[in-house]
A and B are shown apart, each in its own frame.
Chain A
Amino acid sequence: MSVRPIAPVIQKNPALVSERLAAISNLAEVRPASRFALRPAPEMVSSGIREIDALTGGLPRGCLTEVCGSASSGRTSLLFASLAAATKRQEACALVDVSDVFDPVLAATAEVGFEKLLWIRCDAQIENSQLSSTTPRVGREKKSEAGKNFSHRRRETPLGQALRVTDLLLQSGGFGLVILDLGDVPFTMTRRIPLTSWFRFQRTIEHTPTVLFAITQEPCAQTCVSLLLKMQAQFLGVRPRAWGKKPSAFCAPLSAKDRNAPPSGERPGLRYVPEVPKKFQASGGFSHTELLEGLHIQTEVLRSRLERKPARSLTTAFTSQSVRAG
């Protein structure tokens, strides 16, 4: 039986393909991919920083957002801002603090509402009885035997605790913002987190109003991330501080020119303010103290599944303000 070659026909008349497909009963349900309904765009909530909101539209609900950067890159400042924004919206928030680094005093200054914040401080010191399959015995007679059973228990790392805790929080549901702070965990460890864990997190919060926010040193959640931000900072230098005066009175953010072309002999991104200007000293209202003025933070969108691939790098910059809260 001879088969009529179809390719030349398609090239001449593409509409014929649809006609032929429609004629085949088994393929009646086939339709062009372009007609499939698009996945609805997630609801976006404010990150607490207007520049980031302008860049990304905010943080997507029901999605995993990863913020990566090295130490002193401004990641935790973004964490504070997001927590403050979420608690102002009266949403329940949870912070899984893997390295126990959260500073409540500065968080209060950043207007984080503690009554809505659940803080979980992972600890490597506790011995985890959950790992043993043996039921713990309650009697003294069996204590020695139970001790033998428990002797082989291994200590669970803070990272392992954090993953289990995050899983429990997401399964529990109802949280508006869940933050997994892996900022001080070396990348050599975070990259060992199985992709299935990230996938499970992402699937758990899908179609829920929860924002899952992970802070890492390097990107590690790969394709499970809906929004990946990379942060880096430049220091604004030092400034004199005065009791009873608003710190912002002395803010002098680096201009773009200064940032791009640092003065000769200075380190890139730094500006030296060797001493307090005399005009401040002359006023008599200031102490001798100089302190860090703040960080100039640059944020770049590395990955976003929410929009098409951008033609160029999406970046924004903003300034954080040091506050002496002690």
Chain B
Amino acid sequence: MPFACIFVPNFPVEALLRAEPELRAQGLAVLEGKAPLQKVFAVNKNARRAGVVCGMTKLQVEACVDLVLRARSPLLETAAHAALLDCAQSFSPQVEDTALDTIILDLAGLEMLFGPLPKLTEDLARCASGLGLEAQVAVAGNPDAAVLAARGFSGVTVIPEGKEAGQLSGLPLEVLFFEKFEDQESEPILDTLHRWGVRRLGELARLPEIAISERLGQRGVHLQKLAGGATSRTLVSFEPPLVFEEAVELEYPLVLLEPLACWLSRMLEQLCARLHARALATQELRLALELQNGHPVEDEFPLGQDQRGRPFPQDAKRWFHRTLRLPVPLLDSQAFLKLLQLDLKAHPPGAPIHKIHLAAEPTRPRAAQNGLFLPPSPEPEKLELTLAKIAGIVGGDRVGSLALLDTHRPEGFRMQPFVLRESPSGSGRNQENSQNSSPERERGSTELVTALRLFRPPLAANVTLLEGKPTYVASWQGEELGGEILWAAGPWRSSGDWWEKEGWARDEWDIAVQEGTQIVCYRLVRDLLRGQWLLEGTYD
């Protein structure tokens, strides 16, 4: 039964490079510790060539030219680990979360799906690279041998089943203690083995088991079995939660939206790649920005949790939250970026940004089969962008679709987000054709309704009455409106909500007014509660 191991060497550096890929060509040293006692924790190849090694102080490495220093970022490492798990989960449902930088997969039965093992291994490495992590991948007959091979061999390694001992024999002993190097138990064992002159796994495997047991105990025997690639254990299956979050702590606070957009672009690309690896899309993006000065800012959600009650960055006074809800599941980082940019332009954070959290709510991607004869309909991605741009021009509350309220009150409607529902298959053009073929049916369907063009708000009017009927009206809307009323029809009395504070009662008149050479038909309203005459609109 084959197992694969994905191992990311120099994980703290890789996690940083995933967020800032342009640093890959430069020397990078990761610092850890509190100032001024920061020491180099990890370095990349370029930095190593420049003479920088782990343990050097910040003061020592600052003298190096072309060396970039970054503080170790647990946020980035967590995000990189989640990406690694997503990569593994996109291939196999049986995944073991061995360490922050190591994941083991059970490949049993996957050859039918992904092809032979060498191709599958290369696909794994490519997938990890697509998520921004340069990983070493190895396949072996048992999980531990796969881990040792991944840690020991660079690139892609496939060890045929039964030949683990031979392949692993050339590896140095250090790969056995890779993660537990600092353990108090491991260090004396390694020193002892070095004193014995054992440098390679093969040498350790060839030692007599009883003698190892007498001198190093059960720990030693286990290490010897590992070195021989002869262990066998059950994979501790781990099912990662469907949480897609990216976070970054900035070296310097951001003041402009443009550099913020650069960061968001990278994070969105990573999020979309992770979602894509799990064959998912998103319908909701949550952006949380930690502000440097801790200004109280608008907050859509209760403190410390999002709208679904899940924990979110605490101390909400310092956090600025924006949530982008989409009508359909999308997976387009460019579209997301544009939408976030438009949203942030309309709602700027108001203070320098220190940390960025971006989370995506996973959902199944949209599956739609468009018909040849369906009526034209905007693409959801384009439509969302267009609506966001339009909202930036006219205001968010002035664009959308309509919903009538269950009231007779004037202006009894509300605006709601415009969401295009999928029309029933084949109903559009066929319906049109059927209408064209039988025009009589269409003719008899509805009467032409006389429309009203409303004045928002209604125009205050001065009205002259004669025997209770209006005879003259005058109002103002940029220019003088009104004149002699040629005829008036009404009143049409209506009232409502009298049991509430916002009660209303009115008489409606339809009037025809001579304005210059033309006759205009208005709706004139008498507000009975306020005793006001209003011109409500023009019949057109």
Stretch touching chain B among A20-28, A127-135, A195-203, A303-311: A127-135
Stretch touching chain B among A29-37, A108-116, A221-229, A277-285: A108-116
A:63-118 near B, CB below 8 Å: 70-77, 79-81, 84-85, 88-92, 99-111, 114-118
Q: Which residues of A contact B537 (CB under 8 A)?
A: 101, 103
B378 interface residue (CB < 8 Å to A): yes
Q: Which residues of A contact B387 (CB under 8 A)?
A: 118
In the bound assembly, the distance between CA atoms of A90 and B433 in angstroms comes to 13
B254 interface residue (CB < 8 Å to A): yes
Residue in A75, A128, A138 whose Cβ sees the most chain B Cβ within 10 Å: A138
Stretch touching chain A among B99-107, B266-274, B424-432: B424-432
Q: Which residues of A contact B279 (CB under 8 A)?
A: none
Q: A121 to B399, Cβ gap below 8 A?
A: yes
In the bound assembly, the distance between CA atoms of A77 and B418 in angstroms comes to 24
Q: A103 to B452, Cβ gap below 8 A?
A: yes
Closest to A69 in B: B540
Q: Given that A108-B404, A139-B255 are contacting pairs, would A121 and B449 also be in contact in the complex, using a CB cutoff of 8 Å?
A: no
Q: B540 to A74, Cβ gap below 8 A?
A: yes
Q: B451 to A79, Cβ gap below 8 A?
A: yes
Q: Which residues of A contact B432 (CB under 8 A)?
A: 45, 89
Min distance, Cβ B498 to any Cβ of chain A, angstroms: 16
Q: A117 to B402, Cβ gap below 8 A?
A: yes
Q: Which residues of B contact A120 (CB under 8 A)?
A: 390, 394, 398-399
Closest to A43 in B: B432
Q: Which secondary structure dominates chain B's binding surface?
A: mixed
Q: B386 to A172, Cβ gap below 8 A?
A: yes
A183 interface residue (CB < 8 Å to B): yes
A210 interface residue (CB < 8 Å to B): yes
In the bound assembly, the distance between CA atoms of A211 and B254 in angstroms comes to 46
A3 interface residue (CB < 8 Å to B): no
Min distance, Cβ B505 to any Cβ of chain A, angstroms: 12
Q: B415 to A119, Cβ gap below 8 A?
A: yes
Q: A291 to B450, Cβ gap below 8 A?
A: no
Q: B393 to A128, Cβ gap below 8 A?
A: yes
A219 interface residue (CB < 8 Å to B): no
Q: Which residues of B contact A107 (CB under 8 A)?
A: 402, 451
In the bound assembly, the distance between CA atoms of A270 and B486 in angstroms comes to 9
Min distance, Cβ B390 to any Cβ of chain A, angstroms: 5
Q: B352 to A141, Cβ gap below 8 A?
A: yes
B:354-388 near A, CB below 8 Å: 374-379, 382-383, 385-387
Please report the number of residue pairs spanning A and B whose Cβ atoms sit closer than 8 angstroms: 277
B197 interface residue (CB < 8 Å to A): no
In the bound assembly, the distance between CA atoms of A141 and B350 in angstroms comes to 9
In the bound assembly, the distance between CA atoms of A76 and B454 in angstroms comes to 11
Q: Given that A100-B456, A267-B519 are contacting pairs, would A140 and B538 also be in contact in the complex, using a CB cutoff of 8 Å?
A: no
On chain A, the number of residues with a Cβ less than 8 Å from chain B's Cβ atoms is 100
Q: A81 to B399, Cβ gap below 8 A?
A: no
B423 interface residue (CB < 8 Å to A): yes
Q: Which residues of B contact A173 (CB under 8 A)?
A: 376, 378-379, 382
A320 interface residue (CB < 8 Å to B): yes
Closest to A322 in B: B450
Min distance, Cβ A266 to any Cβ of chain B, angstroms: 9
Min distance, Cβ A217 to any Cβ of chain B, angstroms: 11
Q: Given that A91-B428, A100-B456, A140-B350 are contacting pairs, would A241 and B400 also be in contact in the complex, using a CB cutoff of 8 Å?
A: no
Contact with B along A278-308 (1 / 0, CB 8 A): 0000000000011110110000000000000
Stretch touching chain B among A4-12, A161-169, A257-265: A161-169
Task: Pull 20 A–B residue pairs with CB atoms less than 8 Å apart, ordered by A.
Answer: A49-B448, A72-B519, A77-B540, A80-B451, A81-B449, A101-B454, A101-B455, A105-B413, A117-B401, A119-B399, A135-B257, A161-B394, A173-B382, A210-B376, A290-B489, A291-B489, A291-B490, A321-B448, A322-B539, A326-B508
> When A and B form their complex, which 5 residue pairs have the shortest distance between CB atoms, in order from nearest?
A174-B378, A76-B451, A292-B510, A238-B489, A76-B540
Q: Which residues in A have some Cβ–Cβ distance to B below 8 Å?
A: 45-46, 48-50, 53, 70-77, 79-81, 84-85, 88-92, 99-111, 114-123, 126, 128-130, 135-143, 156, 161, 164-165, 168-169, 171-176, 183-184, 208-210, 235, 237-238, 241, 248, 267, 269-270, 272, 289-292, 294-295, 318-324, 326
Q: Which residues in B have some Cβ–Cβ distance to A below 8 Å?
A: 253-258, 260, 293, 295, 344-345, 348-353, 374-379, 382-383, 385-387, 389-390, 392-395, 398-404, 408, 410, 412-413, 415, 418, 420-421, 423-424, 427-429, 431-432, 435-436, 439, 442-443, 446-456, 486-487, 489-494, 508, 510, 512, 514-515, 518-521, 537-540
